[in-house]
Amino acid sequence: MSTDLAKKQEAIANRLQKKAEESQKKRDDRENSSVLLEQTDFFHSSFTKARKEIESTLATSDEIPKSKLTDHFDAMTISLQKMKKFVTDSSAFLVSYDVEKAQQALMDIFYAVHLKREELIPKKKFAFKSKKKATSEKPVPQTQSVQATKPKVEVDMTDCRFTEQSGRKLYKDSQELQSKDVALSKLTDCDVLLDGSPSAIHISLLRNCRIFSGPVSSSIFVDDCVDCTFVLACQQLRIHSSTKSNFYIHVTSKAIIEDCQDVLFAPFNLQLPLMSDHYAISGLNKDINNWDAVDDFNWLASDSPSPNWAVIPEGERVPSWDISDFA
């Protein structure tokens, strides 16, 4: 009889324990739901606030002095990058609908900024003065693949440029380059060494070229290049409409790609005799290199990497560059 009583008491205790556990689970679920709701509300309010701030800043673009427009748009780009990271970090607790909606909103804002930038800082064609070509210069064959079909950046830099060359080794030293903007355009099968510290480099319409440069104090712009290798150091790198190219880079901010495919990245590994001096002139921090932090403005998905760029595996990287045969 005592055994039956013990079994009944055990059954009652088990029911009470189960009921207590169910009650605790309900309380935990309510608390978790409350926390999740608070996180979601915080995300929506923060995202909306950041979006409105960028839209308000964008609305003032027509009033910004021309000399300050680049900084104006760069600041909005940085804010968009922070918003993109915020969405990525918040995707752990957001439902997929909220993530997709935020990503679409980011894309809409980005293109609004992009269109306004193109309107106020339009890309123009190169405007080089007409010069008689030296007999040693070989013009690039005017094939359809190299001819420009869209406007390019205008760079007025007297002689600090290489353009319309084919099958050449091209060289400029530090005295020619210091604090100068450099243009490289319409080059095919060329090797270029910029042995110094330029202020900026504008590159367009290159085919099967190799470009080597010492540290650049500001930005490098690359547009419409195919089957090329770039070994570059700069503060900011922007790559547009380029394919099948390798970038060995030192960049202190981030590389930005747009409308690119099959572009690969590795750390900067160029050795120049006066590299330390070039770094000192450029002001670049040698200890900060975000070579593998690439932003693809055509890929905002947070749950998968961009298919348009990748890191070059260590075993496939060029370990060093032979520049001994340059002038």
Q: What was the pLDDT predicted at 87?
A: 82
Domain finish residue from 56, 90, 120: 120
To 5 degrees, how large is the angle CA 240–CA 242–CA 248?
95
State whether 208 and 272 are in the same domain: yes
Q: Is the pLDDT of residue 57 over 90?
A: yes
Flag whether 265 is in a domain.
yes
Q: Is the pLDDT of residue 211 over 90?
A: yes
Flag whether 321 is in a domain.
no
Flag whether 129 is in a domain.
no
Q: What was the pLDDT predicted at 16?
A: 72
Q: Is the pLDDT of residue 174 over 50?
A: yes
State whether 91 and 197 are in the same domain: no
Mean pLDDT of 38-61: 89
State whether 204 and 104 are in the same domain: no
Pairing state between β 294-296 and 243-251: unpaired
Give the domain range for residue 115: 2-120
Flag whether 166 is in a domain.
yes
Cβ 289 vs Cβ 267: under 8 Å = yes
State whether 9 and 98 are in the same domain: yes
> Is residue 107 very low, low, confident or very high in pLDDT (cuts 50, 70, 90)?
confident
State whether 62 and 180 are in the same domain: no
What is the spatial distance between Cα 160 and Cα 176, in angstroms, rounded to a whole number?
A: 7
pTM for the full predicted model: 0.56
Q: Is the pLDDT of residue 6 over 80?
A: no
By CB neighbour count within 10 A (0-12 exposed, 13-18 middle, 19+ buried), where does 5 fall? exposed
SS3 88: helix
What is the spatial distance between Cα 213 and Cα 197, in angstroms, rounded to a whole number?
A: 8
Domain finish residue from 120, 150, 169: 120
What Å distances lie between residue 256 and 22, 103, 182, 237, CA to CA? Answer: 52, 18, 20, 6
Most confident range (mean pLDDT) of 132-141, 180-189, 213-222, 239-248 is 239-248
- Tens of pLDDT, residue by residue over 79-89, are 887 888 888 78
Q: How many residues does the chain have?
A: 327
State whether 168 and 312 are in the same domain: yes
Q: What was the pLDDT predicted at 278?
A: 87
State whether 186 and 308 are in the same domain: yes
Flag whether 105 is in a domain.
yes
State whether 97 and 234 are in the same domain: no
Q: Which residue has the higher pLDDT, 119 or 190?
A: 190
Flag whether 102 is in a domain.
yes
Paired tokens of 72: 């104006």
| Long-range contacts from 177-182, C-beta under 8 angstroms, 24+ separation | 177/214, 178/281, 179/217, 181/155, 181/157, 182/157
CATH code for the domain of 237 = 2.160.20.70
Domain finish residue from 120, 148, 178: 120
**At a CB cut-off of 8 Å and minimum separation 6, what does 24 contact?**
none
Backbone phi, then psi, for 220, in 5-degree steps?
-120, 130
Percent of the chain with pLDDT strictly greater than 90? 38
State whether 98 and 235 are in the same domain: no
- Tens of pLDDT, residue by residue over 128-149, are 333 333 334 444 443 333 333 3
Q: What was the pLDDT predicted at 153?
A: 41
How many structural domains are present in the chain? 2
State whether 72 and 201 are in the same domain: no
The secondary structure element, H or E, covering residue 222 is strand 219-226
CATH code for the domain of 13 = 1.20.58.1250
Sign of the torsion formed by the C-alpha atoms of 123, 165, 249 and 183: negative
Q: What was the pLDDT predicted at 109?
A: 84
Flag whether 268 is in a domain.
yes
Flag whether 284 is in a domain.
yes
Q: Compute how many other C-beta atoms are within 10 angstroms of the C-beta atom of residue 20.
A: 10
